[in-house]
Structure 1
Amino acid sequence: MKLFLSVMLLLALPSMYAQNTITGQVTDYTVSQPIAFATIYLPQLEKGTTTNENGHFTITNLPQGNYTIVVSFVGYKTFSKIISLPLKDTLNISLTASAIEMEEVIISTPFHKLQSENVMKVERANVKTLKRKGAVTLSQGLTDIAGVESITTGAGIGKPVIRGLSANRVLVYTQGVRLENQQFGSEHGLGISDAGIESVEVIKGPSSLLYGSDALGGVLYLNPEKFANPNASQANIAGNYFSNTKGFNTTAAYKASGKKFKALFRGSLAEHADYNTSDYRVTNTRFVEKDFKAGLGYQSNKFKTALRYNVNAAKVGIPEEIGESSTNVTPLLPYQQLTNHVFSSQSTVFFNNSSLEINLGYTYNDRKEFEEEHHHDHDHGHETEDNHEDEEAHHDEENHEDAHPALHMKLKTFNYDTKYHLPIMGKFETIVGVQGMHQVNTNYGEERLIPDATTNDVGVLATTHIHFNNLDIQLGARYDNRKIALYDEAVNKNFNSFNGALGFKTTLLKAITTRLNVATGFRAPNLAELTSDGVHHGSNRYEIGNIDLDNEQNLQVDLNLEYESKHLELFVNGFFNRINNYIFLAPDGTTIHDAPVYNYVQDHAKLYGGEIGFHLHPHPIHWLHLESSFETVTGKQDSGSYLPLIPANSVNNTLRVEYTTNWLDQGFAFVRLKSTFKQNHVSAFETETPGYNLLSAGIGGTFKLFGRSLDLTVSGTNLTDKTYINHLSRLKPDGIYNTGRNVIIGLNYTI
């Protein structure tokens, strides 16, 4: 690590620092009129401004080098161009009118380009938009992204599924560092609040080139909210009420920036009672979550850094059966008590025509699970809520006061990620880097799902983006090593892997953007898969690990076709994913302590499918949007058996309108029908799941109140109060329905 940093610094030392200024004007391409309040942004520098009433802008104190400048404004196609500083002339930019939504810069890929410029297909969604559609949690909101679903245990526990792969096969990044929270467990959710998260990016496919082990199935990249603009401050308060869970979430934030220093602070609270169906409330799906985020930043013409901290504390009930109905928010036994601390540092040193990124992260995950015996009635909740609520609250207090966690694990993880962006040489943009992780797991409870252990990762990578007139090529290679030391067994495991990626993007027939990507990925077996030997109460089975498991290694081919005109967008995504040594649980027909025995075994597997859809905004009624998408995935072992927990095929149809009036800004309304088909391609220990249709709708916009902006939204999900069970619900074996009708009222006031 020290040698690598020294080499990169020596490469950059000959450069001389300089301060530069960009001045320019933004105009309409058709009528040559200036565009006021257009956004100008340089993503690598995280600096920007807006145009004045005459369309002019100025950005000062910039380092010498090559940087992407992005210009956007509502109703126009986003403009992107690489510029070389210092500039000799004023920058004149013309925007073309378009009804297509503005593009954003993709952060999860190393070259930080607009999606239309990316060789790799990346899905991006704004969290504000996801919440408008009625999501109770971030995990639930992610299911609106094509190719993404969620394995759920009630309303409070959800883990993302990308094209049929989940748990340790999907890597989650937050604040620019990997999120480690014992994500191997079937009842272990994300452990992060959507408050203070601006957008979500999803890489659907092997990303080991960029992120190493555990990115075999894809990456979920959470972008934190930006700091305030220079010499500005902003505060906001927001809240949502959820009729189904009698729950709410609320958040308040303040951020301010000077010329060089900037800071932000955000606190939030969420409380939800047991969720309701048309027949009963589902006992112990309640949860309480507290979250605090803070950030400090500094920026000069040659250096920028951002320090961020997030603590998330939650008590989450673990549902087992239908018992007493209640709208109490205090979880019953069994429940999880989780505290997750994330510290991160993202810094960049700018040299002439090159830069050095250093990202550091520390995650401290404290997980407790309380499992003392308790009793429920088995009447499917037909007793009244009022008769039991006070009694249940007193019962909770007695049970929890002296309770000791049956399971208590502390996971401490240090990550580093260093990349050197070499000077652009003609058509070549090149990045070299080193990444690593040091992780310690320690047990403090009576039960042990996994042993005390230390994991050490190190990986080196190089990737290049090559620009031609009508062709972009991206390629790269990487080597990784993972060492696992198991203290109790005095065993050391060593895993290695070489991986690479090759992608092409070109335009066919002047309108069809084509992307073809081939990539390999790997995943080292986790501690549970290697060492389990005991009853897992959450799934009521005795699990036995296999210390001789090998790496999972995959090869995936992705083909993406996109057609875009002024009023119509079409896309077709197809993939084939071959996984060697796929790890899964299989029953052996025996029992231990009255629990069926499941062994971790390996077999080759394949997954294939994709997404297809369109977005129509007809002329001349640009305010009307018709959107439709279909997604499918099939997973099979080489033996012919289907893989477990594969989401059912589904179709999303949305009618959306956007409008502005004299008293309402950014107004919107939508109606959506999601049709989920029957899942009959199931593994040997799953049952088939019937299909269903869910109707949702919403309306909202921005008002002026005391001279400030007030966002008001009203939305509803499952408006017909349909009783249904999702195939990925862990409550399915007990025949417990998913959430019924839910009406959400949201307010967000900017001060």
Structure 2
Amino acid sequence: MQLKPFNAGRLSDAIPGTMGVLGLAMAPALALGQDTNTGVMALNEVVVEAVAPAPGSPLMQAAQIDVLQGEDKDRRESATLGQTLDHLPGVDTVSAGNQAGKPVIRGLSGNRVRILSDGIAVDHQQFGTRHSPNVEPFLSERIEVVRGVSSILYGSDALGGAVDVQPLPLTFSSDGSRHNRGEALLGHATNNDQNDLGLKGTSQGKHWSFAAGIIHRDAGDVTVPDDRTFFPPPPSDAGKRRAPAYTGSLEYTDFDQTNGQLGVGYRGAFGEVRMRYTGWRNEHNFLLPPPAGNKPPGQGPEGIGQNLENDELRLDATLPVNDTWTLQPTLAWQNNLRQSNAAGVPRDALFDGTLDIEFDQYTTRLEARHGQLAFLDAGRMGIEYRTKQQVSRGTTQLTPGGRVNNVGLFAFEERTLGRLTLQAGLRQDWTETIAKSSKTAAPTSFSGSDSNDYSVTSGSFGGSYALTDNLTLASNIGRGFRAPTLFELHADGVHAGVAAVQKGNDDLDAEKSLNTDLSLRWRSHQTSASATVYRNAIDNYIYLHDTGNTQDALPVFQYQQTDAVLTGVELTARAQMTETLELSTTYSAVDGENDQTGEDLPLQPADELLVEGTWTPGNWGWARSPYVRLGLRHNASREAAPGEPFAQFDNAPFGTASTDAYTVADLALGFSVDGVTGAPMRFSLEVRNLTDKTYRDFLDTYKGYALSPGRDVRMTLRVPLGG
């Protein structure tokens, strides 16, 4: 049996006609290949396999899609999904040190970005600002990102976009022999003394395939640049009032995480069937704001411990019916547990039962895909039923127990007429949300049960036109929706993670959005570029409003609704300047506005410009495929919106919720060496915040009372298993 390393070579070219290849390669989703005639490096295509609604050429999708895979994914990979993706256009991350990272797409996050596991929606109690997806990037084969409304295929919660994390592959051998490949990962990061140890592998045969992986990450406290603190600060000195409350090594920012995956697949004359289990375990601390928001550190509770667990079990199949139709049934179960202590009780004191929220989610999805059918070129249609059953056992309610049921019917079709490709879809959803006091240990603001029903029709229509062989114009208009969550309807309690009391509103209507985008895309042998503008109008936008009241010295926020509009632009360009030098740049800007008040929407990322240069000089003796990448990331200043998480620090006697402009440099380098079995070992070193810059990122949830992380040197060694 031959063992091959994961992703040892360049990213693969598109393979026309392959089942499941759904295509779109844009500037961030490109790989390098060498033209054998000229000796000059060229840009190759990367294809989409999951999130695109129908098969198509790389430039002819109506939606905006990015793909991260292969060595590019390895180089960008971190412990969180948000940080792994935040270099993509229009994608940012809500962070808390190095152990929490929630994706933000076009200014929307949390319940407005749908996280998928190989096409099936997974929840992570995303009502919390710091509640990151329970996803391990190392145990994924590729990650696909849709920017813009994706409700047609995935229903509620996809107003901003969707992120599909595809696990280790369960594919089969075409030559009848068995093929094995595997990889061990060793990593260390200096900023928080983080150590990573991972192992993954697959075995592919004619009829049976297997995949397995496990990774353990443990880390100490995050370090930020040293800065002066002032308690109390001089009232007349605004600069000193903006000084952080904590500096240097931030206590209570450590974590310990273990994630695993196990899968088996079988291929017979009927088709393919696969079963997969994924487990995720995480214990961590969060650093809380200074006591009561105005006392110096050490005079009250500062840390809070949390325990997170997530299990997923999935059974799915690919069943060809004839040359035109293929059925893809899926059954999935997810169990998610969130336990959180009271303020001042870190994780080493075990868990005190303050918050204890658990749910079981069951998903049944039947999808039928077809090729050429009458005047249609390709498409898919299906039905999905999902039920979520939640219990709240903690002494604090925060979110109640209850049940959420959803039924969705959808269809999406494509037609190509010469240079024009048209895509259209339609979906109908019925959602029922029932809060139950019998499933809630703490006293509730309602008795018995409280039910809310929502029925929403959504659709999309778009297309692309090849102006020339290199230039494509694409546009898409989509209607999306989002049903209010149990938390938004019935929240009632102290949310220690944001230092506020949060209250629900059981009169909330479903959010409905109308998203329009227009994109111009260029691609040639050695260059690619795109320019996209978009507008996303959301009716009944749900947001937390500062009531102006306090409870136990904490501000009280309550959910309300308004209409809102988000507009933005995304610009990307990449060019192979010489045989050894590649330059790329990305610019993203979004403006979200509350129609009623004219104020900014919460958690909107600052305008960002990213410029990177990558030098690949060719082999240096024993060092194979060396590269050096230097990046400059500039974020504009940003004012905190009223009522957004941590906005209170703009008026506190220290710290800030609004942030100044900054520029941070990042350096990365790497190379491969021949292993003892002939397969290359790959070493990479990345230095984030190269100059140890003092700054606050607007979406860093520690910004109110601490600086963003200082210099971090991350070293990674990937060792192939076998030759």
Same fold (TM over 0.5): yes
1:649 alignment counterpart: 607
Q: Which one of the candidate residues 19, 30, 33 is aligned to 1:75?
A: 33
- Corresponding position of 1:506: 465
Partner in structure 2 of residue 700 of structure 1: 670
SS in 1 for 2:52: coil
Asked if 1 retains the 8 angstrom alpha-carbon contact of 2:63 and 2:147, the reply is: no
Change (3 A) 1:405 1:670: same
Write out aligned runs for 1:435-584 (5 A): 435-488=384-437, 489=447, 490-584=449-543
Query: 1:513: how far off?
Result: 0.8
**Secondary structure, aligned partner of 1:529:** helix
1:418 paired with 2:375, answer no
1:693 partner amino acid: T
Which of residues 573, 579, 586 in structure 2 aligns to 1:622? Answer: 579
1:689 correspondence with 2:659? yes
- How far residue 119 of structure 1 moved from its aligned partner, in angstroms, is 2.7
Q: Report the CA distance between 1:300 and its aligned residue.
A: 3.0
Aligned to 1:370: 341
Q: What are structure 1's unaligned runs of at least 5 residues? A: 1-35, 48-66, 78-93, 324-330, 375-394
Matched, 1:667 2:616: no
Is 2:564 the counterpart of 1:613? no
Matching residue of 1:724? 695
Cα contact 2:54–2:412 (8 A) shared by 1: no
Render the CA deviation track for 1:399-421: whole Å, top value 9, x for unaligned. 33xx4221111110011221112
Letter in 1 for 2:565: K
> Residue in 2 aligned with 1:248?
195
Partner amino acid, structure 2, of 1:611: E
Match of 1:203 in 2: 146
Task: Give how far 1:46 is off.
Answer: 7.3
Does structure 1 retain, via aligned residues, the 8 Å contact 2:69–2:141? yes
Rg larger in structure? 1
SS state at 1:729 partner: coil
Measure how far apart 1:97 and its partner are.
Answer: 9.1
Q: May I ask how many residue pairs the two structures share in their alignment?
A: 646
SS of equivalent to 1:519: strand
Q: Which amino acid aligns with 1:145?
A: L
Correspondences of 1:139-158 after superposition (within 5 Å): 139-158=82-101
Which of 726, 729, 738 is 2:708 aligned to?
738
* TM-score of the aligned structures, taking structure 2 as reference length: 0.84
Question: What is the alpha-carbon distance in structure 1 between the residues aligned to residue 271 and residue 33 of structure 2?
Answer: 34
Change (3 A) 1:176 1:548: same
State how far apart, in whole Å, the 1-side matches of 2:165 and 2:55 are: 15
* AA partner of residue 414 (structure 2): H
The aligned amino acid for 1:274 is D
**8 Å contact 1:576–1:609 — kept in the other structure?**
yes
Alpha carbons 1:134, 1:717 under 8 Å: kept: no
Question: 2:32 and 2:601 mapped to 1: Cα distance?
Answer: 44
Q: SS of the counterpart of 1:209? A: helix
1:168 partner SS: helix
Q: Secondary structure at the match of 1:132?
A: helix
Q: Offset at 1:659?
A: 4.5
CA contact 1:366–1:411 (8 Å) conserved in 2: yes
Query: What amino acid maps onto 1:276 in structure 2?
Result: T
1:102-141 to structure 2, matched below 5 A, reads 102-113=45-56, 115-126=58-69, 128-133=71-76, 135-141=78-84
The one-character-per-residue Cα deviations of 1:128-164 (angstroms, maximum 9, x if unpaired) are: 5245257453321211111111112222122111111
Helix, strand or coil for the counterpart of 2:637? coil
SS at match of 2:137: coil
Q: How much has 1:528 moved relative to structure 2?
A: 1.2
Q: What is the TM-score of this pair, normalised by structure 1?
A: 0.81
Distance change in 2, residues 1:680/1:338 (3 Å) = closer
Residue 258 of structure 1, CA deviation: 1.5
Contact 2:544/2:557 (<8 A) preserved: yes
Measured in 2, the distance between the counterparts of 1:39 and 1:600 equals 48
> C-alpha separation between the residues in 2 aligned to 1:739 and 1:131?
22
Q: Bigger relative contact order, structure 1 or 2, given CA contacts below 8 A and separation 6+?
A: 2
C-alpha separation in 2, matches of 1:223 and 1:37? 16
Task: State whether structure 2 residue 194 is matched by structure 1 residue 224.
Answer: no
Separation of aligned partners in 1, 2:48 and 2:557:
45
Q: Which residue of 2 aligns with 1:90?
A: none
Correspondences of 1:9-20 after superposition (within 5 Å): none
Q: 2:332 aligns with which of 357, 361, 374?
A: 361
Structure 2: tracts of 5 or more residues without a match: 1-9, 227-247, 292-300, 438-446, 648-656
Query: Relative to structure 2, which stretch is displaced further, 154-163 or 228-237?
Result: 228-237
CA distance in 1, matches of 2:185, 2:580: 27
Distance 2:38 2:465 in 1: 23
1:637 and 2:594 are equivalent in the alignment: yes
Structure 2 CA distance for partners of 1:611 and 1:240, relative to 1, 3 Å: same
Deviating more after overlay: 201-210 vs 532-541: 532-541
Match of 1:234?
181
Aligned partners of 1:507 and 1:513 also within 8 Å: yes
Query: Is residue 187 of structure 1 aligned with residue 155 of structure 2?
Result: no
Cα 1:681–1:396 shift into 2, 3 Å:
closer
Structure 1 position 405 matched with structure 2 position 353 = yes
Of residues 271, 278, 282 in structure 2, which corresponds to 1:314?
Answer: 282
- Alignment partner of 1:274 out of 210, 213, 221: 221
Counterpart pick for 1:346 among 313, 316, 328: 316
- Is the CA contact (8 Å cut-off) linking 1:255 and 1:262 kept in structure 2? yes
Which one-letter code corresponds to 2:272 in the other structure?
K
The percent identity for this pair of structures is 24
| Structure 1 SS opposite 2:221 | coil
Partner AA of 1:163 in structure 2: R
- 1:298 and 1:240 mapped to 2: Cα distance? 34
Task: Quote the RMSD (CA, aligned, Å).
Answer: 2.8
SS where residue 144 of structure 1 aligns? coil
Q: Give yes or no for contact 1:529–1:546 (8 Å, CA) kept in 2.
A: yes
Give the conservation status (yes or no) of the 8 Å contact 1:522–1:552. Answer: yes
Question: Deviation string for 1:658-689 (max 9, x for gaps)?
Answer: 35426444332111000111113744663431
**1:250 partner amino acid:** L
The answer to whether the 8 Å contact 1:520/1:555 transfers is yes
Tell me, in whole angstroms, the C-alpha distance in 1 between the residues paired with 2:48 and 2:519.
19
Aligned-partner residue type, residue 728 of structure 1:
L
Deviations 1:620-670 (A, max 9, x none): x23311101110000001121111110000100000123542644433211
Contact 1:630 1:651 in 2 (8 A): yes
Maintained 8 Å contact 2:13/2:44: no
**Judging changes above 3 Å, is the alpha-carbon distance between structure 1 residues 665 and 570 closer, same or farther for their aligned structure 2 residues?**
same
The one-letter code of the counterpart of 2:580 is W
Q: Indicate if the aligned counterparts of 1:44 and 1:112 stay in contact, CA closer than 8 A.
A: no
Q: CA deviation at 1:451?
A: 1.2
Q: After TM superposition, which residue ranges in structure 1, 4 or more long, deviate above 6 angstroms?
A: 36-40, 94-98
Q: Secondary structure at the match of 2:59?
A: helix
Give the SS at the match of 1:530: helix
Which deviations, in whole Å up to 9, do the C-alpha atoms of 1:351-377 show, x marking residues without a partner? 222111112211100111122645xxx
After TM superposition, give the deviation of residue 477 of structure 1 in Å: 0.7
